[in-house]
Amino acid sequence: MRERFRVSGGASLRGQVRVVGAKNSALKLMAGTLLAVGRTRLTNVPNIVDVTIMAELLRRLGCDVDWRPEDGVVEIGVPERIGHRADYELVRALRASICVLGPLIARVGEADVAVPGGDAIGSRGLDLHAEGLEALGAKVHVAHGYLIAAAPQGLHGASVHLEFPSVGATENVLMASVLATGHTRIENAAREPEIADIAEFLVSMGAHVSGAGTSTIEIDGVDALHATEYHVVPDRIAAGSWAFAAATTRGDVEVVGGRAEHLEISLDLLAGAGSTVTVTPDGFRVVGPQGRPCSVDVATLPYPGFPTDLQPFALTYNAVADGSAMITENLFEARFRTVQELARLGADARIDGHHVMVHGVPLLSGAPVEASDIRAGAALVVAGLVADGVTTVSGAHHVDRGYDRFERQLQGLGADVVREPDDDLYG
């Protein structure tokens, strides 16, 4: 059944909200468990649909997966013999499934992974994934909608220079190289905290990895890894969403578990535009300004730049800010679907190529809107909070892919948001 969020405008978010492990790390760590025979236990895993899909994918590869969403624990028993095919049916529901490619080629010597669909945010190539694995000795081609990789002789260390610091390509090359013979050096690697988290996880399994979190990662391959227990890094994107939501609604929110050092640019922007940001013993706190927040220009870039995943929240923020702002999207070309929905709420925003010009208005005007992906959906719910009257955000399932019971967290902060059936005529 389709569901939507029903948001009554007018609330300032106040109180504490807790962030748990990062979706974008947890999914990769789950894939990474394939690298070692035995039972690996992950804690601080977010209770989101994507984790359930990844659990199913691992089961189909032959693993015994015990996923306890209420405890945030997933235990994955990896047998000696595992499959090597990730079907389209699962990959289309979870584009992050492509991260099984590196672990499978390293462990089994072959991998057939359906070419992913997933979030509707621009075309996302896999060329860098393929080039990186080829440098390690794999043969990679695409046929019948599958990316097929094989390394019958095993993988060998190599120098891999990524043309662009792709998060997914860095992860696949990193996870493939830990079992390759000899030394691998990944240059122009992505520097996201989730990459450092994966590296730390691999080291806890016995891998030799250094430099993760910088643009050069060095790996010395080992013959085998062992099962481990690991606590997932907190979700900086969820934490950043709450920071923007607090500033946008002129609220006062402590993000418990949030790491300010992973959100430096975002929090500096908010602080420079009238919010008060403080680091607390358990996380950080954002207190919005008394009056309308000031507008802020934003340009998305690979980490440590402004995260593309927070761009929809920057749009919502600027839609009600005092002044005009330019939002530039440098990572994904079609990631402006929020704009047309915000316009339905009365925002004054115009797309020009990969820029959006936003002129802030004092208040949005509640209306039915549609979520196109996880972050867009959550940002539209926040927009509903600063809109007059009622806003409904259809496509709640998108938001469930990234946020653990979003409406309950918002209710805990004093917002009037409920989930309800979406009686869309054609849905």
Q: Does 296 bind ligand UD1 (CB under 6 A)?
A: no
Q: Indicate which single residue of 296, 331, 356, 379 sits in contact with ligand UD1 (rule: CB under 6 A).
A: 331
Q: Are 143 and 184 in contact (CB under 8 A)?
A: no
Q: Residues with Cβ < 8 Å from 64, sequence gap 6 or more?
A: 76, 77, 79
Judged by CB, which is closer to ligand UD1: 183, or 337?
Answer: 337
Tokens of 23: 């979706």
Contact in structure between 400 and 1 (CB atoms under 8 Å): no
308 interacts with ligand UD1 by CB under 6 A: yes
Quote the distance between the C-alpha of residue 156 and its chain's center.
30
**Is the CB of 54 or the CB of 345 nearer to ligand UD1?**
54
Positions in 235-294 near ligand UD1 (CB under 6 A) = none
Half-sphere exposure of 351 (CA within 13 A, CB side): 14
> Which position among 309, 329, 373, 422 is part of the footprint of ligand UD1 (CB under 6 A)?
309
Identity of the residue, 129 or 292, whose beta carbon is nearer to ligand UD1 in the bound complex: 129
Q: Is 119 tagged catalytic? A: yes
Lay out the site mask for ligand UD1 across 96-115 (x = CB under 6 A, - = otherwise). Answer: x-------------------
Residue from 63, 167, 393, 399 that binds ligand UD1 (CB under 6 A)? Answer: 167
Examine residue 298 and tell whether it contacts ligand UD1 (CB under 6 A). Answer: no
CB atoms near residue 110 (< 10 Å): 16
Query: Rule CB under 6 A: is residue 182 a binding residue for ligand UD1?
Result: no
Q: Does residue 24 interact with ligand UD1 by CB under 6 A?
A: yes
Tell the smallest beta-carbon distance from residue 110 to ligand UD1 (Å). 20
- Least separation in angstroms between residue 24's CB and ligand UD1 is 3
Q: Which of 53, 101, 111, 126 binds ligand UD1 (CB under 6 A)?
A: 126
Stretch that binds ligand UD1, among 103-111, 125-133, 199-207, 403-411 (CB under 6 A): 125-133
User: Does position 359 bind ligand UD1 by CB under 6 A?
Assistant: no
Distance, in Å, from the CA atom of 362 to the CA atom of 160, rounded to the nearest integer, reads 50
CB of 153 to ligand UD1, least distance (A): 24
User: Nearest 5°: CA angle at 75, between 72 and 81?
Assistant: 150
Task: Read off the tokens for 232.
Answer: 């997932």
**Residue 53, token pair as written in the block:** 């899909």
The answer to the question of residue 420 lying near ligand UD1 (CB under 6 A) is: no
User: Which of 139, 169, 135, 160 lies closest to 151, judged by CA?
Assistant: 139
Q: How far apart are CA 366 and CA 205, in angstroms?
A: 51
Residue (168 or 193) nearer to ligand UD1, CB: 168
Q: Which of 31, 106, 128, 225 binds ligand UD1 (CB under 6 A)?
A: 128
C-alpha span between 371 and 349 (Å, rounded): 17
**Pick the catalytic residue: 50, 71, 112, 119?**
119
Residue 337: its H or E element: helix 337-344
Residue ranges in 65-94 that form contacts with ligand UD1 under rule CB under 6 A: none
Q: Does 120 bind ligand UD1 (CB under 6 A)?
A: no
Question: Which residue in the set 55, 151, 169, 186 belongs to the binding site for ligand UD1 (CB under 6 A)?
Answer: 169
Strand-pair partners of 275: none
The piece of 100-108, 119-127, 220-228, 393-401 that touches ligand UD1 (CB under 6 A) is 119-127
**Shortest distance, position 48 Cβ to ligand UD1, whole Å:** 12
Q: Please give the size of the binding site for ligand UD1, defined by CB under 6 A.
A: 19
* By CB under 6 A, residue 45 contacts ligand UD1: no
SS3 per-residue string spanning 95-138: HHHHHHHHHHHHHHCEEEEECCCCCCCCCCCCHHHHHHHHHCCC
| Radius of gyration from C-alpha coordinates of the chain | 21
53 binds ligand UD1 (CB under 6 A): no
How far is the CA of 84 from the CAs of 53, 150, 404, in angstroms? Answer: 17, 10, 30
For 209, the enclosing helix (H) or strand (E) is strand 208-210
Neighbours of 344 (CB within 10 A): 17
Residue number with CB closer to ligand UD1 (249 or 308):
308
Q: What is the maximum alpha-carbon separation in the chain?
A: 65
- Active-site residues: which are they? 119
Binding positions for ligand UD1, rule: CB under 6 A: 24, 96, 122, 124-129, 164, 166-169, 190, 308-309, 331-332
